[in-house]
Structure formats: C-alpha cells, structure tokens
Amino acid sequence: MGRVVSDQPLPVQLVSFVATTAGRDVQLRWSTATEVNNYGFEIERRQIRNAEFEIRHWEKVGFVEGAGTSNSPKQYSFVDRTLSSGRYAYRIKQVDNDGSFSYSHAAEVEVGIVPKAFTLSHNYPNPFNSSTLIEFALGEPGHATLRVYNTLGQVVAILAQGVYVAGEIQKVRFDGSTLPSGIYYYELVSGSNRAIHKFVLMR
C-alpha cells in the first residue's frame, strides 16, 4: 500500500496541469521541472452530475510512464476519448518507484456542451452508404423531434423524439439500409424553431 507524501518536498515537481476538450475527447497536459525516481502517472477521472450535484468516485483511466530521475523539464500528455456529454474532473496520481504517491489538483471540463443555441449539424458522411451521423442541440430545454423525409414529403424515420436539455450535443445515427438510394431530408423541430438539411443515400 502506498503512502501519501505530504510532509516533505515532493521528489517530482509538477509545474502545470491542464485539461481541454476537443469534441468528445479530453486532452490532458502536464509538465514537471525535476523528477526523482518517478515511476509514472496514473490518470484518474470522475463524472460530476450537474442536475443532482452528484460526484462519482475517482476511477483510473490510464497510465503514462515517468522519466525516472531527471533534472530537466518534461512534458506529458494523455487523451481520454469519446466521452458521453457531461462534466468531468481529472487528476493525476504521481507514483514513485518505491510506491509513494501524491495527487495533483483536479481540473474540470465540460464535454459535449455547446453555446446554448438551436443547431442542426450537417450529417457525416454525406453522401453515405447505409448509415450516417447527425448531431443537434437546443438553445433552451424542451421537446424536440428529428424526422427523415423522402422527396415526396413522406416521413421514413423518426430519429429522436423527447425532452432535451439546452446546450448538450445529441448524437443520432440514421440507418438507411432498408431504403432505396436517393435524396432525403432530415428536419429538427423544437417549439418555434425548425431546421432542415438534405442528404444523399448511395449504394
């Protein structure tokens, strides 16, 4: 069992630790000034439930090897990929070769949160064969429906229907494997807001 080093100078001097988002990925970067017997860094994450102010337990999501002993600055990074929308906290647990460890401060990020505006993205890929991905977000909480129409104006699919929070990116996949090739339209409606885009199914 390791012991927390808190009453003496740390053998690893951490000078920075930041977390940034890129889509649904979180990029962690940190640097050290000096290192002594540094085995490495465990990456820990916990999700913060905004609605209920519930904070889940820390969980280990990765490990980055340390430089051992070094008198020169070192840069490190780690990418936590394809997270669900929400608010997350990250910290790094620096572990020495003898099992001693210490924690960094926690850095918080929001994933899948966009400025609160009514948006309907262009699908990807387009044209597509069988399936394609569509994203949307609402400017205010409320009911929304995402439908797909053929060129005759007939509804061929309902991709989303329900109540959604504002500013959170919703991802839905359209499977057109049972439909003939051709031009289709997808429409998002929420209250008085409406947006529509065209896409092409090709076989």
Is the peptide bond between 125 and the residue preceding it cis, with omega within 30 degrees of 0? yes
Q: Model's pTM, two decimal places? A: 0.57
Helix (H, G, I), strand (E, B) or coil at 129: coil
Would you state the structure tokens that stand for residue 140, as one six-digit string?
């205010």
72-74-76 Cα angle (round to 5): 175
Q: Are 77 and 50 in contact (CB under 8 A)?
A: no
pLDDT, tens digit only, all 203 positions of the chain:
344 444 444 578 888 999 998 878 999 999 999 999 999 999 999 988 654 445 578 999 999 999 999 989 999 999 999 888 788 999 999 999 999 999 999 998 888 766 678 999 999 899 999 899 999 989 888 999 999 999 999 999 999 999 998 878 888 999 999 999 999 999 999 999 999 999 999 97
What's the rounded Cα separation, in Å, for the pair 47 and 110? Answer: 10
- In sign, the C-alpha dihedral spanning 185, 188, 194, 197 is negative
What's the rounded Cα separation, in Å, for the pair 160 and 145? Answer: 5
